[in-house]
């Protein structure tokens, strides 16, 4: 049952092929046997009981869209009564007093929470190495990173330790780990999914989305997760579509842009993956044309000002007073603040807080923060121009396949460049999906499709049609026990 997609599992459950209890127990056993991947931070204590209840509800005729499906949640989503750490020592002891909207919507749809997945500390990272709970291993080759920051979620889905998981994406944190682990992940339009109860990193960029093996599963999950929320004033009132309805539309006449800036200087192996994907989509009727995103080379520099600036403001809440870590024997209030923060934040988090505060400080604001927000406008305008002539933009998700654990530890700039193809969509607020599309050196490679605002349906349609013709999404790593 573990090689069945989430949609197939729902079908199996309704036919009585197996129960939610059996499915859940299977995953719990697998998680136990593959702890060395370090994909999970914690396991839900009551998930089997919830599975039992789901089976009873199903027997009684209850039909919820995700009834009895065990899911994993990135440990950035608050779940009432459950430890929620955001991968940080700061929140190692934090039991959330409330539910995030994402968790409660998925629960209302019938899903069960298997546990919480490992992540880069406060979602700051592209390799999962910045987690206080240690690096997650890529199930395809355990000396490789799974990507980040939603690396635990991606590794868990790839290793079949759950059929699907939630993630968040601030600069590529759903799509890059999805690509590295050979699975599907979508970052929706900014504001499509409520950020309530999702521990904040950079509030104008953060967005939640699903990771699963297929676009079909992502459509099902996103339909349950999306929507306006009074508790998040930046959530959008735009009507949520039933994304599953659009999956089977044919692609005749769909126009897909190839960004010349992304294709220049691309790794030859990644070029091959893209060429093969173009061939598949062309046969399905899609038409390709070159487009230009001239400001895209400046996306990373702008991101590494905007995201730290917002992070420095968001992380000011961690003061050792109301929740989270508190240092031992503080001498005075200032000592309490400073040591509680310094002793519990990791180095990358400190670097970003520092840079952010610097970029917002008097004398540097115009040169850094304002400049970055102006470049963001130019990036957004490039996309608006491109979407006048195309329905989606195709390119690589990452420059290459998963790198070795520790490979970029001494070269933070190399790590920051991992997100070169994903960051623009966050800056512009656009939806984007990563699809498994081949292998490079026996490691998965992903392609990315960026869509127009609130046009997740087109991305999922393209993804589903692509997956109907390819079997990259069906490949699973062989795990040693």
Partner 1 sequence: MDVTEEVVRNIAELVQLKVDDADIQQLTEGMQNILALADQMQAINTEGVEPVSNPLDASQKLRPDAVTEENQRELFQSIAPATESGLYLVPRVVE
Name which of residues 312 to 341 contact partner 1 (CB under 8 A).
312, 316, 319-324, 326, 330-339, 341
Q: Is 42 a catalytic residue?
A: no
Whether the CB-CB separation of 198 and 207 falls below 8 Å is answered with no
Q: In the complex with partner 1, which residue's Cβ is closer, 58 or 341?
A: 341
Q: In the complex with partner 1, which residue's Cβ is closer, 381 or 470?
A: 381
Which residues between 14 and 33 bind partner 1 (CB under 8 A)? none
User: One of 88, 149, 153, 424 is an active-site residue; which one?
Assistant: 149
Q: In the complex with partner 1, which residue's Cβ is closer, 122 or 466?
A: 122
Q: Residue 15: count other Cβ atoms within 10 Å of its Cβ.
A: 8
Instruction: Find the part of the chain contacting partner 1 (CB under 8 A) among 23-31, 284-292, 351-359, 439-447.
Output: 351-359
Q: In the complex with partner 1, which residue's Cβ is closer, 165 or 202?
A: 202
Check residue 191 for interaction with partner 1 (CB under 8 A): yes
Whether the CB-CB separation of 227 and 234 falls below 8 Å is answered with no
Q: In the complex with partner 1, which residue's Cβ is closer, 110 or 429?
A: 429
Q: Is 173 a catalytic residue?
A: yes
Check residue 308 for interaction with partner 1 (CB under 8 A): yes
Instruction: Find the part of the chain contacting partner 1 (CB under 8 A) among 28-36, 127-135, 209-217, 296-304.
Output: 296-304
Q: In the complex with partner 1, which residue's Cβ is closer, 18 or 337?
A: 337
Q: How far apart are CA 114 and CA 300, in angstroms?
A: 35
The length of the chain in residues reads 481
Using the rule CB under 8 A, which residue among 282, 342, 389, 469 binds partner 1? 342
CB of 348: closest distance to partner 1 in angstroms? 8
CB of 202: closest distance to partner 1 in angstroms? 11
Site string for partner 1, 73-112 (x = CB under 8 A): --------------------xxx-x---------------
Which residues between 367 and 396 bind partner 1 (CB under 8 A)? 367-368, 370-378, 380
The strand pairing partners of 198, in sequence order, are 77
Site string for partner 1, 412-441 (x = CB under 8 A): xx--x---------xxxx------------
| Helix (H) or strand (E) segment spanning residue 167 | strand 164-169
Using the rule CB under 8 A, which residue among 227, 358, 399, 479 binds partner 1? 358
Query: Pick from 228, 151, 161, 160: which is nearest to 185 by CA?
Result: 151
> What is the size of the binding site for partner 1 (CB under 8 A)?
76
Q: In the complex with partner 1, which residue's Cβ is closer, 405 or 428?
A: 428
Sheet holding 255-259, edge to edge: 40-43, 112-117, 70-74, 164-169, 207-212, 184-187, 432-440, 443-451, 392-396, 255-259, 287-291
CB of 322: closest distance to partner 1 in angstroms? 5
**Residue 248: C-alpha distances to residues 189, 217, 243, 460 (Å):** 22, 13, 10, 10
CB of 19: closest distance to partner 1 in angstroms? 35
User: One of 7, 44, 74, 126 is an active-site residue; which one?
Assistant: 74
Query: Where do we find the tokens 């126009």?
Result: 255
Whether the CB-CB separation of 188 and 181 falls below 8 Å is answered with no
Which residues between 196 and 255 bind partner 1 (CB under 8 A)? 204-205, 230, 233-234, 236
Name, in order, each residue with C-beta under 8 angstroms of 431's C-beta and a sequence gap of 6 or more.
186, 187, 188, 189, 192, 425, 450, 451, 453, 454, 455, 456, 459
Which residues between 106 and 165 bind partner 1 (CB under 8 A)? none
Q: In the complex with partner 1, which residue's Cβ is closer, 239 or 332?
A: 332
CB of 381: closest distance to partner 1 in angstroms? 9
Q: How far apart are CA 171 and CA 307, in angstroms?
A: 9
CB of 234: closest distance to partner 1 in angstroms? 7
**Residue 240: C-alpha distances to residues 225, 244, 334, 430 (Å):** 10, 12, 47, 15
Q: How far apart are CA 46 and CA 370, in angstroms?
A: 48
CA atoms within 13 A on the CB side of 66: 28
User: One of 96, 173, 235, 424 is an active-site residue; which one?
Assistant: 173
Check residue 265 for interaction with partner 1 (CB under 8 A): no
DSSP string across 464-477:
HHHHHH--GGG--P
The sign of the torsion formed by the CA atoms of 115, 120, 175, 444 equals negative
Active site residues: 74, 149, 173
């Amino acid at each position: 049952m573990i090689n069945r997609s989430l949609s197939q599992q729902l079908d199996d459950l309704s036919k009585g092929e197996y129960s939610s209890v059996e499915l859940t127990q299977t995953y719990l056993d697998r998680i136990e046997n593959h702890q060395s991947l370090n994909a999970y931070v914690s396991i839900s204590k009551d998930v089997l009981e919830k599975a039992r209840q789901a089976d009873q509800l199903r027997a009684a005729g209850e039909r919820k869209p995700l009834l009895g499906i065990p899911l994993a949640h990135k440990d950035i989503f608050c779940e009432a009564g459950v430890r929620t750490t955001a991968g940080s020592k700061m929140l190692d002891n934090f039991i959330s007093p409330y539910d995030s909207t994402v968790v409660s919507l998925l629960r209302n749809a019938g899903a069960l929470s298997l546990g919480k997945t490992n992540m880069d500390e406060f979602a700051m990272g592209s390799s999962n190495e910045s987690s206080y709970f240690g690096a997650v291993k890529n199930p395809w080759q355990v000396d490789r990173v799974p990507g980040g920051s939603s690396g635990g979620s991606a590794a868990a889905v790839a290793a079949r330790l759950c059929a699907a998981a939630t993630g968040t994406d601030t600069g590529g944190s759903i799509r890059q780990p999805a690509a590295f682990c050979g699975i599907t992940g979508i970052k929706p339009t900014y504001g499509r999914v409520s950020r309530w109860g999702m521990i904040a990193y950079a509030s104008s960029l953060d967005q939640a989305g699903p990771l699963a093996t297929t676009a079909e599963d992502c459509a099902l999950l996103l339909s349950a997760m999306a929507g306006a929320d009074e508790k998040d004033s930046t959530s959008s009132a735009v009507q949520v579509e039933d994304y599953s309805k659009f999956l089977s539309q044919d692609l005749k006449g769909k126009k897909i842009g190839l960004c010349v800036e992304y294709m220049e200087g691309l790794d030859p192996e990644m070029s091959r993956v893209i060429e093969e994907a173009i061939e598949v989509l062309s046969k399905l009727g899609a038409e390709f044309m070159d487009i230009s995103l001239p400001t895209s080379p400046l996306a990373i520099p702008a991101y590494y000002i905007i995201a730290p600036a917002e992070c420095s403001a968001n992380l000011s809440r961690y003061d050792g007073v109301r929740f989270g870590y508190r240092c031992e024997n503080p001498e005075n209030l200032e000592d309490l603040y400073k040591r509680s923060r310094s002793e519990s934040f990791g180095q990358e988090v400190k670097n970003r807080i520092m840079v952010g505060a610097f970029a917002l400080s008097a004398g540097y604001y115009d040169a850094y923060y304002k400049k970055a927000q102006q470049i963001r406008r130019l990036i957004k305008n490039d996309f608006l121009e491109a979407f006048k002539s195309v329905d989606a933009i195709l390119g690589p998700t990452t420059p290459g396949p998963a790198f070795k654990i520790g490979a970029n530890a001494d070269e933070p700039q190399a790590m920051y460049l991992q997100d070169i193809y994903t960051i623009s969509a966050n800056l512009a607020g656009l939806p984007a999906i990563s699809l498994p599309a081949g292998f490079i050196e026996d490691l998965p490679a992903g392609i990315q499709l960026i869509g127009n605002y609130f046009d997740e349906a087109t991305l999922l349609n393209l993804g589903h049609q692509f997956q109907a013709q390819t079997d990259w999404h069906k490949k699973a790593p062989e795990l040693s026990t």
